[in-house]
Amino acid sequence: MIWEALLGGAVGGLVGGPWGLAVGAALGAGLDIFRDRDLPPLDAQLQSIPGSDGVTIIAQAREFEEGSIAIIHARSADGDFLRARVQRYSREECFALAGTVRDGQVRLFIPNGTIDVTGEVTLSLRIYTSTTVAEAAAVDILGEDRLLIPWPDTPYRAAHFWRPLLLLGMAVSRADGHIEPVELQRIQARFVTGLNIPASESDLLDEILNAPAQPVEALVAELRLRAPRTLTDSVLSALEDIARADGEVHPNEVALIGEIGVLLKA
């Protein structure tokens, strides 16, 4: 289904299935998200917040229905849809990123290096609403806004993208007051290998794993922004596996994993 592609395929058992069945059925029936059309403006408060490894797009409007689907495309100066450089952001070879409306707001993170362009890029935000009538699903498009932003010629780094998840693993390994080599090996097995972080990023990976401890609240918020479909149960299972790696699960590790679970489910 289309949401699988737009939100990234399953990665290391951590990324979940499609968004609602009604939306998936309607899109599977032939909705073309790349079809150009004259759309009314959303008149959303659209802004971009650049970061060290990507940009966060925030759109807010009272008219956004809870649970509506937001899709961001990238366009050239001529209005053409731009290609994606990273497969998990590619739909029909063009860049597309999807998210959902929560509390009248859309927040989406676009990592550096995912759009095949340098200099400037026009981001196109479209909002889709879905309804289910009996067994038939219908999807309507609410409108579109566009935003021109600078786009750096910076490569995509998988280790950067998954940084909050890696640091959550390190937080659990530190919770008992020390880090055992076997715990680092388990992080390597569960996250680095499972998330297909390439060997070419080993220096960056070492830098992330040796970074100072950070509040888990901030790490969970960053993970939910970057990878909203990450499965809570799978993350907690991986963290529990890291805690067991040294043969003893410390009460501090149990408490921290419980805290992370509450934050992920909030």
Strands (E) in the chain, as ranges, are 45-50, 54-60, 69-75, 90-91, 94-100, 105-111, 119-133, 136-151
C-alpha–C-alpha distance, residues 221 and 167, integer Å: 13
The stretches in the chain having pLDDT less than 70 are 1-31, 130-139
Answer yes or no: do 223 and 105 share one domain.
Answer: no
C-alpha–C-alpha distance, residues 239 and 250, integer Å: 13
Whole-structure pTM value: 0.84
Q: Of the candidates 93, 116, 151, which is a domain's last residue?
A: 151
Give the domain range for residue 194. 158-265
Q: CA 222, 116, 86, 145: dihedral to nearest 10 degrees? A: 50
C-alpha–C-alpha distance, residues 116 and 109, integer Å: 16
Answer yes or no: do 31 and 129 share one domain.
Answer: yes
Confidence (pLDDT) at 18: 32
Give the CATH number, domain containing residue 75: 2.60.40
Indicate the average pLDDT of the chain: 83
AA letter at 219: L
Answer yes or no: do 134 and 180 share one domain.
Answer: no
Answer yes or no: do 22 and 139 share one domain.
Answer: yes
Confidence (pLDDT) at 14: 44
Answer yes or no: do 135 and 7 share one domain.
Answer: yes
Answer yes or no: do 24 and 114 share one domain.
Answer: yes
The count of structural domains within the chain is: 2
AA letter at 194: G
Q: Is the dihedral of CA 227, 232, 234, 235 positive or negative?
A: positive
Using the structure block, give the residue that is written with the tokens 């596996």.
Answer: 241
Question: Across the chain, which distance is largest between two alpha carbons, in Å?
Answer: 61
C-alpha–C-alpha distance, residues 48 and 135, integer Å: 39
Give the CATH number, domain containing residue 255: 1.10.3680
Q: Of the candidates 114, 130, 151, which is a domain's last residue?
A: 151
Answer yes or no: do 67 and 197 share one domain.
Answer: no
| Rg, Å, the chain Cα set | 20
Q: Of the candidates 81, 116, 151, which is a domain's last residue?
A: 151
Strands (E) in 32-182, as ranges, are 45-50, 54-60, 69-75, 90-91, 94-100, 105-111, 119-133, 136-151
